[in-house]
Amino acid sequence: MEPIFYGFLTGVAMSLMLGTVFFALIQNSIEYGVRSGMFIATGVILSDIILISLSFFHVELLPAGGSVEMWVRLFGGTFLIVYAVSSLRKKRKIEYRQFERSGVFFLLATGFMLNILNPGNFIGWLAVSTQLTQVAGYSLPQCLLFFTGALSAIFCTEMLIA
């Protein structure tokens, strides 16, 4: 139960970062309704599944050992703090574009592409995967529970935003 809880907390934290997906959810929900936000959030979840898979199965390329744990914690913590502070300090100019198409595929692709093209997402999931496998020592079933909790929290939070 602990991995699901920690995964849920991680998912809430990751989904509350003010990025392009956050503003796309709000804009499309205003223009096209909550249903459009659901499709964007689904696209985000699909891209997160790919990013998690890539980061989780490539984390084994990092060497295990005593000094690695310290560097993983230092790099991961520093990255998350810098990323959060920069997203809060950055002044954003919101542009409202009118799209003629708002079909299901377009909205899914919008959420998918906005999320997967952000390099911070891959680095964030790589930091989380490294923390889980090399520092916390989670097994594969525990990691699956953690990521299920994280993805559930991301979807729920994004639906609340929409």
Enter the pTM of the model.
0.76
Per-residue pLDDT of the chain (162 residues; tens, 9 = 90+): 899 999 999 999 888 877 888 888 888 888 888 888 899 999 999 999 999 999 888 876 666 666 666 776 777 778 778 877 877 777 666 555 555 556 889 899 999 999 999 888 888 898 899 889 888 889 999 999 999 999 999 999 999 988
| 75 in Cβ contact with 1 (< 8 Å) | no
Q: Which two tokens stand for residue 122?
A: 């891959």
Neighbours of 152 (CB within 10 A): 16
Burial 103-139 (b: 16+ CB within 10 A, else e): eeebbbebbbebbbebebbbbbbbbbbbbbbbeeebe
| 111 in Cβ contact with 47 (< 8 Å) | yes
Say whether 120 sits in a helix, a strand or coil.
helix
Q: What is the spatial distance between Cα 98 and Cα 133, in angstroms, rounded to a whole number? A: 44
